[in-house]
Structure 1
């Protein structure tokens, strides 16, 4: 079952769902403390129950969407469902249920709220809903399909046994109105069962990566400040976020005239190990900052290393990244903003 959602967790889930551009615009409207809190929660996201995603999106949608009018199932909706679910036998099935001369679906009644199924059910996979409805009677199944989007209802109908389809569609065709309380009650029962079903298992979320991506779009200075503030609350999490946010490619943002100063901060053995796993562009960046003789000696030392462990290479690169960040913080070098944070 999904845990109770706090406001901060809702915001974190929303940030991971709405895409990087939209999330960036959203974060720009928050103050620094709020951004820190939301991104810290994003970084802690490990797995998110699909029902939580649905609840957050539903609440967000309700805040920006006008209430839609009442829409009954009607014969025209039956025709669309049958044609999508069974195009090979649509005419025969429509004739059997007496819907081959269906009238147009009535327009929604102005000002009357539409009965709604819970969003967790609406957004569930069609096959999952079909399995839930397999245990319900035909009338309940018809009621649920009548208030689902047409395409999803058609897919669910296609998953039903052939012997049930005609009866379910016939009951939908005969439906002229439905009590909102009944729709809500049936929906709540199905959501309870949905949360217990195998298909409602939590899905993995790269919360740390999402937080780093969002911080990266805010720029280096803002990213540094937020990570520094987070370090006081959770040093381990802040370090993981820092490693995701500032990668070895940060060296490309160092101006060539400052590279000799950077090289003075790094032992040659560490540098050789770090460059062993680096792209040619990064290697050239370092080689341009030293004499030809020093560059040749470094290449020879790199060749002598053979095939080092990936973890050792990454640790050596991390030493250089931290040295660059420290030098930038102390005003010893200037970094070009475009290449500072991982994109």
Structure 2
């Protein structure tokens, strides 16, 4: 007997997620004809959703596949992943099309080429596009998100931007071959060069390593590096983000750090911190929370300096994690006037 489904259960799955679950349940043999009817963009969108689907309870699958309930009734769950998606598409799509689909969905957050382009700075993108034919630029901008398209148009020379806008207004449906040619040009000439130009400075990578050292090791190795390569040592010091730099965070960022931090780790970190640093963190708490933190620090008694330093390093790593998520901004130690996310 099929398990009844609450409406709220089904609402958890978007239309695309339901389609992905159905295609997983159908498998190669039953789903081949459907896949063959889809365009490449539709295949990418559906495949991306399938690869990120995770587990779908069997009773949801049964509800979505009523005609095939006898086949899926013995399945405890489905699990969508990159591997299961790739195995499913093998033999259904030509090798070159399969490779293109999997390369796109294995990219950052499974984004398509156009999604990735929407994350490129409008200044950088405009500098590249101003040397292209206006019709090509019109096709590219028409594929971007409206807000990013607007920023790129604003960064283009005014007369050139007007020309592009007029072409966008008159634009007819573009042949798939032309779009593919433009995509390939962007991948080979723009995104590849962009990736190379944005390659991380090895001093930045080493600064991350030094941030993970305990203080004694950090000072000892930096001291030795000073003797052998003073310029590199100075560069690494400038790039390091330390516990002391947390004092430069905006109050909202300190509040987010307090909210997400492990309370014992924060107590340990502040126990070994100067009074000024303690005051900054305590000011971001409620009166009750600040009182409890003071009591926690007092009840610890004597603690090893190394434990405090490790806890402080943990808060620094948490701050960087929150910055990577875009939840806070960090003051860039390279430039007091700039902010980075």
TM-score (norm 2): 0.32
Radius of gyration: which is bigger?
Answer: 1
Greater RCO (Cα-Cα under 8 Å, separation 6 or more)? 1
TM-score (norm 1): 0.31
